[in-house]
């Protein structure tokens, strides 16, 4: 079980980044959450099989159509969080 936190910079708000992150995460069986930050970035915590988490991170490096990702920071979480599903936080 892998757990990663990502911070995505660029034009990532107002382009359905959070909603598409949920769709991609659910497609890969990844649990966790995603939210917008006040500084214009998007933050997500992703938990699941290491390969599946990696697939979601790879997708986030490009993002959905209309976004322009300028950077992504990836860090490991301190262990399994036990999320039941994936949610968009507001």
Would you state the structure tokens that stand for residue 86, as one six-digit string? 């994936």
Q: What percent of the chain has pLDDT over 90?
A: 92
Active-site residues: which are they?
A: 18, 36
Tens digit of each residue's pLDDT (9 = 90 or more) over 64-76: 999 999 999 999 9
pLDDT at 38 over 90: yes
Of 4-8, 61-65, 79-83, the poorest mean pLDDT is in 79-83
The DSSP element (H or E) to which 45 belongs, if any, is strand 42-48
Ordered by where they begin, the domains of the chain are 2-78 (3.30.70.100)
Spatial strand order in the sheet of 2-11: 68-76, 2-11, 42-48, 31-36, 86-89
């Amino acid at each position: 079980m892998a757990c990663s936190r990502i911070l995505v910079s660029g034009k990532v708000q107002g382009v359905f980044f959070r909603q598409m992150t949920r769709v991609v995460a659910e497609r890969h069986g990844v649990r966790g959450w995603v939210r917008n930050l006040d500084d214009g970035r998007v933050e997500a915590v992703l938990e699941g099989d290491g390969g599946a988490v990696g697939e979601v991170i790879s997708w986030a490096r490009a993002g959905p159509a209309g976004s322009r990702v300028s950077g992504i920071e990836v860090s490991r979480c301190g262990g399994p969080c036990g999320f039941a599903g994936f949610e968009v936080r507001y």
